[in-house]
Structure 1
Amino acid sequence: MSDLFTSVRIGTNVLTNRLGMAPMTRSRANPDGTPTPLMAEYYAQRATLGLILTEATQPSDIGQGNISTPGIYTDAHIEGWKKVTSAVHAQGGRIFIQIMHVGRMSHPDNVVGNLQAVAPSAIAPKVQLHTPTGMQDVPTPREMTDDDIRQTVADYRHAARCAIDAGADGVEVHGANGYLLQQFFAPNANLRTDAYGGSIENRTRFAIEIVKAVVEEIGADRTGFRVSPGGTLGDLNEGTEGPALYRYLIEQLDKLGLAFLDVMHWGNEELLVDIRKLWHQTLILNRPGRPREQIGADVKTGLADIESYGAMILANPDFARRVQHDALLNEPKKELFFGGDARGYTDYPALA
């Protein structure tokens, strides 16, 4: 089996190691969603990882949910991301921009134009979001019409093209963590009776249509997909059919020959083993809270081709080097995860 510090292929890209940076919202973009020079510095610091998956990036105004998150659908966004991708490539890294529509996980106070959120059904999650005036309940979204669905597919296609124009090596379509695509998967968020609700085939239809549109636009070798089977973020409950839904979804996506599948693992080991069998391309595995001594274990057994990490990489820009040399790790400053300046962002020390 493979070691973390052997090469691996993602589409047409050959990565120098099997460590990946998981997508993590940091809320340091400009108010209009344009990436900043500080973001370019942040990602370039971590370019010694085999692969960088960026923070969630909205494909439209209505796709935004949190304050100061980046977009990838305007000329200004493209120019801002060009500085990020150029900085990463100058350090020899590879970077895929994650495209995410938040669906109902939004608040009008956080969105350009104060837009009401859209979702599979008009059901509010029982959660709160940070807004400019503090924590607020998430309001009831508007149920998406057929036109909304078609427009969202087109938005993902456009965002994928913008990402490539901005110099990204590819995109990751976000189908996880309580956001729009996973909302369609979950029966407690999707009460539709049309072609996008009810059966497993119907509840996965929207995600598959989006991926097909992205593949048609930029190619399968530059497209990945993220799932979080069984995840309950955003007040979702996938029900007893959840594992069957993911087996079906992954079988369908596998036929498209995507660059990778990115799995955020929520504890169903039997399903994880089945996913590994069903998926014939590169598989990225993220285990939240994985202890230091288990780093490399899933690559070694062949359960994953790449292991991705979150907070440990935030706090350790030279994470790959520290792992390779079994060096001590900096502790992340959780109070500085979201928003702010360089503190808790680009000021973590690297090894001498």
Structure 2
Amino acid sequence: MKLLEPIATPGLSLANRVVMAPMSRRRVENEGVPSGLLARYYAQRASAGLIIAESTVVSRDGMGISLLPGIYSEEQVAGWRKVTEAVHRQGGKIFVQLVHSGRIGHALNIPGATGPVAPSAIAAAGTINTPAGAQPLPVPKALSAEAVEAMYELHMQATRNALAAGFDGVELHAAHGYLMEQFIHPAANQRTDEYGGSIENRCRLPLRVLEGMVAIAGADRVGVRFSPFASLNGLSPYEEEAATHLYLAAKLDKMKIRYIHLSDQSSNGYTPIPPAFITLLRQAFRQWLILAGGYNACTATQALQQFDADLIAFGRPFISNPDLVARIAQQQPFAPADKATFYEGGANGLIDYPCLSACATS
């Protein structure tokens, strides 16, 4: 089965093509410092060819929702080091997903902060959960030219911190309506400077950030996640959507970053990524392509063949199946997950799902 075959480059080798997708579990209560619970959680799932750890904020102000981990302080780096060491003891590989939520946030979720920021002062539709209950998403503060430069530097420091924490690489979260996609998308970006207007300008910041990440970590240790056509967090469809992402793909191919990770949200009720678009992107980008979006073992195998993809990312199946790779190999059914503990519950619903045989403990 191709899904279980190894894949390698001179700088990165994976035992199989099964990826654990980044999923926020909201179990971090101590100033964004990962706990021992997370170390055990990820170690249990280290048989994945690659783990992409959950969205991890590059600054305190980038935490749109509460209880997310960060990677901007020494304490957070030390906490993540325990996680990466636990995964490596089990023979696994782990990247971290770097994120800034941009306009998808609220001052009530960030004590002492002034509120969310974005490319332009345009609020996203909808509400966000806060300690005071659901609140309308506020109008964000437009980033000044100086603040854009500071945002770039935050991502560079986060990349350095990730390497210091022992991660095998870093993924930039440029999907799901968060800050990097806000720059890419014309509905959220109405700037008139070098970061707004044309496709080239709207893509300038994420490409700059990725170029900087490559300079620090090396191309084999850098990836990016996109979610074209998903229309998440108030980003509606737009005419240049395919052209924009194909432009990004061509630029990233020249940069030789290790992978593009496409997040299809059709299993959650959103518009699917058109197969014809994936084919075009595959032609423009010749490094690794990761596909994510409601796959099982059968459909994952089909997708690897249909789209000439390299890896398939599984999200929710990894929550309740720490030994997902073994279940695929043995053609065993996936255990169901308890949705009530996706985002709360401490150890419950995090590290207590059974394995076919003993799960890793550290």
TM class by shorter chain equals over 0.9
TM-score by length of 2: 0.94
Residues 11 and 259 of structure 1 are in contact (CA less than 8 Å); yes or no, is this contact kept in structure 2? no
The Cα of 1:302 is off from its aligned counterpart by 5.2
Residues 259 and 289 of structure 2 are in contact (CA less than 8 Å); yes or no, is this contact kept in structure 1? yes
- Is it true that 1:62 corresponds to 2:67 in the alignment? no
- AA matched with 1:269: P
The Cα of 1:314 is off from its aligned counterpart by 0.7
Aligned partners of 1:9 and 1:264: how far apart in 2? Answer: 22
Residues 128 and 135 of structure 2 are in contact (CA less than 8 Å); yes or no, is this contact kept in structure 1? yes
For each residue in 1:137-180, what CA deviation from the matched residue of structure 2 results, as whole angstroms up to 9, or x when unmatched?
A: 21110001001110010000000000000000010011101100
Provide runs of 4+ in structure 1 moved above 4 Å: none
Residues 154 and 213 of structure 1 are in contact (CA less than 8 Å); yes or no, is this contact kept in structure 2? no
**Alignment-derived partner of residue 272 in structure 1:** 278
TM-score by length of 1: 0.96
For each residue in 1:233-282, what CA deviation from the matched residue of structure 2 results, as whole angstroms up to 9, or x when unmatched?
A: 11102401100001111111111111111111332111111111111111
**Alignment-derived partner of residue 300 in structure 1:** 305
Aligned partners of 2:75 and 2:103: how far apart in 1? Answer: 26
Aligned partners of 1:337 and 1:223: how far apart in 2? Answer: 28
**Residues 64 and 7 of structure 1: CA distance in aligned 2, closer, same or farther (over 3 Å):** same
For each residue in 1:278-309, what CA deviation from the matched residue of structure 2 results, as whole angstroms up to 9, or x when unmatched?
A: 1111111112x235531322223452100001
1:88-103 to 2 correspondence within 5 Å? 88-103=87-102
SS at match of 1:55: strand
- AA matched with 1:340: G
After TM superposition, the structure 1 stretch with the greater mean CA deviation from structure 2, 24-33 or 292-301, is: 292-301
Aligned partners of 2:101 and 2:308: how far apart in 1? Answer: 30
1:303-318 to 2 correspondence within 5 Å? 303-318=308-323
**Residues 337 and 330 of structure 1: CA distance in aligned 2, closer, same or farther (over 3 Å):** same
- AA matched with 2:81: K
Aligned partners of 1:238 and 1:213: how far apart in 2? Answer: 29
Equivalent residue in structure 2 for 1:285, among 283, 287, 291: 291
Aligned partners of 1:10 and 1:66: how far apart in 2? Answer: 36
**Residues 10 and 135 of structure 1: CA distance in aligned 2, closer, same or farther (over 3 Å):** farther
Residues 5 and 18 of structure 1 are in contact (CA less than 8 Å); yes or no, is this contact kept in structure 2? yes
Structure 2: 5+ residue runs without aligned partners?
265-271, 358-362
**Equivalent pairs, count:** 350
- Is it true that 1:333 corresponds to 2:343 in the alignment? no
After TM superposition, the structure 1 stretch with the greater mean CA deviation from structure 2, 293-302 or 230-239, is: 293-302
Q: Over aligned residue pairs, what C-alpha RMSD do you find?
A: 1.4
Residues 12 and 221 of structure 2 are in contact (CA less than 8 Å); yes or no, is this contact kept in structure 1? no
**Alignment-derived partner of residue 78 in structure 1:** 77
Aligned partners of 1:91 and 1:290: how far apart in 2? Answer: 25
For each residue in 1:18-76, what CA deviation from the matched residue of structure 2 results, as whole angstroms up to 9, or x when unmatched?
A: 00011111111134100000000000000001000010000111211111100011100
Aligned partners of 1:10 and 1:226: how far apart in 2? Answer: 20
Structure 1: 5+ residue runs without aligned partners?
none
**Alignment-derived partner of residue 218 in structure 2:** 219
**Alignment-derived partner of residue 30 in structure 1:** 29
Residues 124 and 137 of structure 2 are in contact (CA less than 8 Å); yes or no, is this contact kept in structure 1? yes
For each residue in 1:317-349, what CA deviation from the matched residue of structure 2 results, as whole angstroms up to 9, or x when unmatched?
A: 000000111102111111111133111111111
- Is it true that 1:5 corresponds to 2:11 in the alignment? no
Aligned partners of 2:310 and 2:298: how far apart in 1? Answer: 18
Aligned partners of 2:273 and 2:212: how far apart in 1? Answer: 31
Aligned partners of 1:139 and 1:10: how far apart in 2? Answer: 45
- Is it true that 1:347 corresponds to 2:352 in the alignment? yes
SS at match of 1:295: helix
The Cα of 1:17 is off from its aligned counterpart by 0.5
SS at match of 1:247: helix
1:184-195 to 2 correspondence within 5 Å? 184-195=183-194
For each residue in 1:103-132, what CA deviation from the matched residue of structure 2 results, as whole angstroms up to 9, or x when unmatched?
A: 000111112423311101111111222222
After TM superposition, the structure 1 stretch with the greater mean CA deviation from structure 2, 42-51 or 264-273, is: 264-273
**Alignment-derived partner of residue 158 in structure 1:** 157
